Amino acid sequence: MADDSTTLRAGHQDDALLLHAGGRLTAEFCPAIKAYCNEDGHGACRRVHVHLHECIYFDSTFLGTLLCLRGKFGEEGVILMTPSEECLEGLKRMGAHVLFPILKDPLPGDVDWTSLTERVASRDEFDFQHNVLEAHVELARMPGPMQKVYEPIARQAQKEFDEKFNWDSDTIRMPRPK
């Protein structure tokens, strides 16, 4: 269940989608983030600014979801904006601080925000589990220590997903160990 103290809202400004995330960012919020970023009407947006100045915690699924968004917006297109000290420490601990551009910019004030926290309650179990799987596959694809940590987790998530949904995960390919 999602933490009531977490806020997640989205908007857009010029050619950027804006995500304002605060509190504890966990797997429950990730399908709503991906769905918002893939909605029709956002085709002109070339970047995602993820404002993390109020983030006190994020889990691996949240980080993997941001990596998934790079597939749509490019490696330089998902930008972490003013991460909190807790957030920055977590990124560094995971070695993920080098995976995204990090900028210090204030949260824009003239944005028409849409709450994404309300979309969390009505989630589809298949979409949720598929997002967890995709996020961990993306983490496992990162070279170095992250791959060693997340490859076994991604393989287990893939096995559980296949069994739970009678699914053949040929659509999501795990990297082969080197």
In this predicted model, which residue has the larger pLDDT, 171 or 165? 165
Question: Is the C-alpha dihedral spanning 138, 2, 156, 169 positive or negative?
Answer: negative
Task: Among 2.30.30.90, 3.20.20.70, 3.30.750.24, 3.90.550.10, name the CATH number for the domain at 7-119.
Answer: 3.30.750.24
Q: Looking at residues 14-36, what average pLDDT do you find?
A: 93
Per-residue model confidence as pLDDT tens digits over 41-98:
677 789 999 999 999 999 999 999 999 999 889 999 999 999 999 999 999 998 899 9
* Listed residue (135, 136, 141) closest to 153, CA to CA: 136
The residue assigned the tokens 């998530």 is 157
The domain locations on the chain are: 7-119, 125-171
> Is a pLDDT exceeding 80 seen at residue 122?
no
Contact 117, 8 (CB under 8 A): yes
